[in-house]
A and B are shown apart, each in its own frame.
Chain A
Amino acid sequence: MDAALLQVSDWQFIAANWRFLLLGTVVTVLLTISSLSVGFLLGFPAGAIEVYGRGRLQTVVSGAGVILRGTPIVVLIVLFYFALPIPQLGTVPVIDMQLTAFIAATLALGLRSAAYQSQVFRGSIQSIGDGQLEAARSVGLSKLQAIKHVIFPQAVRRSLPGFQNEFTIVLKDTSVAFAIGLAELLTRAERLYLQPGRDTAVIEVIITISAIYFVLTFSTNRALDYLHSQYAIPGGNE
C-alpha cells in the first residue's frame, strides 16, 4: 500500500471528527434495532404460519417471503423510499436523521429480515419432534396452548444461533441506507472524505468505520453467545 495514503494528518482529521462519526454510529444502531424488531415481530409469526397455517394465509405469507428473499436489499430500500407514500416527517435534530428515509430503510431491512427470520424459526419448529406436540395434546392442552407452552419455548431457543447470524447481517446491511442518503455511519463517512481537500482520507475513514462495525458485531455476538448459554436446556445437547 502507498504509504502516502495513510497520512498522520488524515488520522488527526478523523479524530477531530469523532463526534460526527459517533452520531452516524447511533443512527446505524437505531436502524439495526428497529429493523430487527420489525423482522422479529413479523418473522416469527410468519414462520409459525408456514408450519401450522392453512390455505390462503399460508400461501400469502410464504409467497411474500419468496419475493423478499429474492430481491436485492438496495433495490428494496430504493423502492420503498421512492414508491411508498411515507409522509415527509422532517429531520431529527442532533443526529441529523431524516425520518422518512429512516422509516423506508426500517421497512426494507425489517421486511427482508422477517423473510429470513421466518425461515430460521420455521426450521426450529420443524426440528422439534412430533412427540412433543402429541404429548402436550395428550395431557389435554389445546393445539394453540401446546404450541405456546411446549413448541415455541424450545423453538425460540433453537433459533438463537440463526438469529445471531441475522443480527450480524442486518447490522452490516444498514449501510445500504447510504443509497437513500440516510445519515448512518457509511453516509457520514462519505461526507467526511468528500469535504474539499480531504479526499486523501478515504482509506483512513473506511478503516475507521470498518473497525466500528466490527466492534458492534463482535460485542453483540459475544452477548448473544452468553444469552444462548444462559438459556440452554440443562443436560441438552444444543
Chain B
Amino acid sequence: MSVLRIENVDKSYDDEPVLHDVSFEMDRQEVEVIVGPSGSGKSTLLRCVNRLTEIDDGAIYLDDEEIHSVDENELRRRVGMVFQDFSLFSHLTARRNITLGLRHVLGLSDERATAKADDYLERVGLADQAESYPAELSGGQQQRVGIARALAMDPELILFDEPTSALDPELIGEVLGVMKDLADGGMTMLCVTHEMGFARSAASTITFLDEGRIVERGPPEQLFENPEHDRTAAFLSDLTGLHQ
C-alpha cells in the first residue's frame, strides 16, 4: 500500500501555473528526492501534501485517504515538515520546541513529552543543547532540532523543503548525516534538495520537476547514468558539477 499517492495535481498562483498534472506514488520506507530548477514548483508540491497550500485540481492520498477528508491538524500530525529556514519557535528552548506539539497535539504529559524530546535530541546528537534557545545554536544544530521536532510526532512521512539550502557549506554534512540515518532507519521521506550526494546514496527514486511538470522519474542510477531526457542530464550534471 502506498503511503502517498499524488494524482493529476494542478496548482496556480494568480493564473500563473505552478504545478501541472503531477502524479506519483510513494511506498513506505521510500525516500523520494525531488530536484528541479528554482521556480519549478518543488516547494509548492511539498506544501500541498500537508495543505499549507491547497491544490486546485487532482487528488492527494495519504494511506489511501484523500487528504481533504482528513482533519487538517490530524493530517499535519501525520505528515512532518522540515523547513529551509528551520522555523524553530524562537522563544522556546530546543527541548520545548519539540514538547510543544507532543503536549498540545498528542496530549502527552509534560514529563513524558520532555523524556521523548530528550530522546529525539539525543538521536540527532544534541542531547547537550536541550536548554539552548534557537538563536544560541548554529544553523546546522537548529536544523537538527527541526528534524527532531518533526520526528518526535511519529509521522508516517516527513517532508524536507530544501533543508540544507540556508546552511553554510561546513554545516551541511551534519544535517545530511541525520537525514541519511533516518533514511537507513526506514523513515518515509519526501525531500526537495540540491544535494546530489544525498540523492545518489539515499534516494529510492528521484523525480525531476521542471516548469511544474514531471520530466522524468526513476531510481538514482537511471537518472544519473542513463537519463531519458537531455534536460535531465543537463540539470543533473550542472548540479553535480557545482558540488564537486
Q: Does B73 contact A (CB under 8 A)?
A: yes
Q: Within the complex, what minimum Cβ distance (angstroms) separates B73 from chain A?
A: 5
* Chain B residues, Cβ within 8 Å of A140: 73-74, 76-77, 101, 105, 153
Q: Is the Cβ of A135 less than 8 Å from the Cβ of B80?
A: no
How many chain B residues touch A (Cβ–Cβ < 8 Å)? 27
If the complex has contacts A134-B52, A153-B91, are A139 and B135 also in contact, measured as CB distance less than 8 A?
no
Q: Does B133 contact A (CB under 8 A)?
A: yes
Q: Within the complex, what minimum Cβ distance (angstroms) separates B2 from chain A?
A: 22
Closest to A157 in B: B91
Q: Does A233 contact B (CB under 8 A)?
A: yes
Interface string of A176-214 (1 = CB under 8 A from B): 000000000000000000000000000000000000000
Q: Is the Cβ of A234 less than 8 Å from the Cβ of B133?
A: yes
**B136 contact from A134, A141, A145, A234, Cβ within 8 A:** A234
* Chain B residues, Cβ within 8 Å of A235: 132-136
Q: Is the Cβ of A142 less than 8 Å from the Cβ of B87?
A: no
If the complex has contacts A140-B76, A236-B133, are A132 and B105 also in contact, measured as CB distance less than 8 A?
no
If the complex has contacts A139-B100, A236-B135, are A150 and B89 also in contact, measured as CB distance less than 8 A?
yes
Q: Report how far A88 CA is from B83 CA in the complex, Å.
A: 61
Q: Does B69 contact A (CB under 8 A)?
A: no
Q: Report how far A234 CA is from B133 CA in the complex, Å.
A: 6
Taking CB atoms and an 8 Å cut-off, the chain A residues in 114-171 that contact chain B are: 131-132, 134-142, 145, 149-150, 153-154, 157
Closest to A155 in B: B91
Q: Is the Cβ of B104 less than 8 Å from the Cβ of A141?
A: yes
Closest to B146 in A: A135
Q: Within the complex, what minimum Cβ distance (angstroms) separates B150 from chain A?
A: 8
> What are some 11 contacts across the A-B interface (CB < 8 A)?
A131-B83, A134-B83, A135-B89, A136-B89, A137-B76, A138-B150, A139-B80, A139-B101, A139-B150, A149-B100, A235-B132
Q: Residues on B close to A: CB < 8 A?
A: 50, 52, 73-74, 76-77, 80-81, 83, 85, 87-91, 100-101, 104-105, 132-136, 149-150, 153
Known: A135-B83, A236-B135. 9 other contacts (CB 8 A): A131-B83, A137-B52, A138-B80, A139-B80, A150-B89, A150-B91, A154-B91, A157-B91, A235-B135
